Structure 1
Amino acid sequence: MINIESKEINSYLGNRNIKIINEKFKGKDLINEEEIAFQVDLIVRFHKLIGEYKENLIPRIGSNIGKDLEYYKFQLKRLKADLEYRKTKQEKNLLDLNIISNGNELLNKGEKAINHILRNNYKKLIQRSMTNYEVCLGKVDDSNLRYTVSIEDGIEINTIKYLSYNLKEHDLYNYIKRLKKKDIPIEANKIIEYYVDSLGLSIDSMEYLKGFIYYPNESLRIWDKYILNKKELSFDKYLNDFKKGQIIDNIYIDEIIGGDFGDK
C-alpha cells in the first residue's frame, strides 16, 4: 500500500480531474445490471483520465504486475500437496471428504485457467503495461470510486492506498472478484468485451481476463483459509463457505466457457 498523504500523487491525479477526498462512500450490497454497467464505465473513465500522460512515472507507488498469476501458481502447488495429505488422513471430517471429492476438479480448473492466460500473449501484455506505465486503482467498487459534480467530467476517489502499477485489465478483474464474493451473477463475457473495446485493448486482453475469471478463486480461497486457519472459524463455517464457493465459481465459469476456451 502507498502513502496516501503523498502530495505528489494527489497533485498528479488532481491535474487529471481525479479528486481524492479520503471519505468512505456508502456502497450497495445488492446491485443490478445497470448499476454494474455504470461502475464499469467509471473504471474505464479512471483509466482514460490517468493514462493520458504515459511518459510520466507516478512517484511512490509499488508494482503488482504479475503478482496475481504468481500467487495462483503458488496456491495450486500448496493445495495439491494438501489434497494428497487429506487422502492419507486416518480420520476424515466432512470438509476433508468434500475436498477429496472436489479437489482434483478445482485444481484442474485452476491449471486450465493459468495455461489459458499464458498461451494468450501474457508476456506481451506485461510489456505493454510496463511501457505505458499503466496504473490500477485496486479498489474500484462504488465504495471507493464515483463521479463528481464539482469537476467537469471528473471522478472522486475515497482512497488511493491500493494504487499500483499493474495491467489495466486488473481493475476490471478486481471489480468482478468483488461481485463474485457478494454472490452477484453477471454477464462476464459481455462486461469483458465492453471494457476491452472501451479502452482499445486487444483480443489478448479479453482472453487474459477470461482466464482469470475462469480460475475458481472463491473455492480455493476458502480451502486456503481452512489450511491456514488464521481467523479460527468454525468447522461448519468453512464447510458451508467451501460449498458456496463452488457454486458461485461454477456460475462464473459457466458464463466464461466458450467452444474454444482453453484450446487456443
Structure 2
Amino acid sequence: MTPPVIETRALAIGHGRQPLGRDIAFSLAAGEVLCLLGPNGSGKTTFFRTLLGLLPVLAGEVRVCGEAVAGWSRAAFARQVGYVPQAHAGVFPFTVAEVVLMGRLARIGRFSAPSRQDRDIAADCLDMLGILPLHDRVYTAISGGERQLVLIARALAQQPALLVMDEPTASLDFGNQIRVLDHIGRLRGQGMAVLMSTHQPEHALRVADRIALFNAGQVIADGPPAAMITPARLASLYGVSESAVSASLSPLLSPERNVLP
C-alpha cells in the first residue's frame, strides 16, 4: 500500500516544554484535501508549524511519504512539503518573479543558478494564479492580497507532494478567493495532498474531501464535509448558539440557494 503523504503518531505540540496538545493522530493521502476548522487560539498554527519542523515535536513523530522527518535536512523536506503562511510582508526589494523562483531552491541547490525550466515553472505558477503581469513588480510594493497570491505561487513552484496552507484566502478579495479555491481543486486532480486551515465553512465545503475540527490542540472530529459542517458541531466548536449557526449555514445548504458545486 502507498503510505500517506503525511501522518502523525502520538504527536504532542506546544511552545517550549509546555504542551498544547497531545496524542494527535491524523493522516492525509495523495490527491486529498483536508480542511482544518477551529476557533482563534485553538492551536492550528502551532500544529502546522510543528508539522513543518518550525517548532520542535514535544513527543511522537511526523512522517512524510512513509519516512520519519526528524533527521531530514531542510532541503530534503522542502522537496516534499510546501508552505503558504497567513501573511508575509517581506523586507528586501525582490521582484515577484524572484520571490517565486525561491520556491525552486530546494530543487536546484544553494549555489546553482535557476535554469530556463525553473524560470518557466515559476512563470507558469504566476500565470495559473492570474498574477503573471506582476512578475517585474517589487514584492514589498504590491498589495497584501497580491503578496498572498505570490506566496501560493512560490509554494507551487516547489512542486511538493504536500501543500500546507494556513488560512490562504484570509486577505484575498472574493474573486481571488474563488480562484485560489478552484486551483486547490485542480491540485487534487494532479495528485497533490493539501492541508489547509480556514475560518470559513463554505470554503471547506467547496474544496475539502475531509474536514477536521480542531480545538485546544486536538483533532476532536474528522470526517466527510457533510458530517462535520452541522449546526450542532459548529456551535460546540465555536461556542455560539446552534440557531445562529443554522441561520448562517442555511444559504449554503438549502437546495434552492445552494452556492456550492
Q: What TM bracket, shorter-length normalisation?
A: under 0.3
Name the TM-score, length of structure 1 as normaliser. Answer: 0.23
Point out which structure has higher relative CO (alpha carbons under 8 A, 6+ apart): 1
Q: Whose strand proportion is higher, 1 or 2?
A: 2
Q: Whose helix proportion is higher, 1 or 2?
A: 1
Name the TM-score, length of structure 2 as normaliser. Answer: 0.23
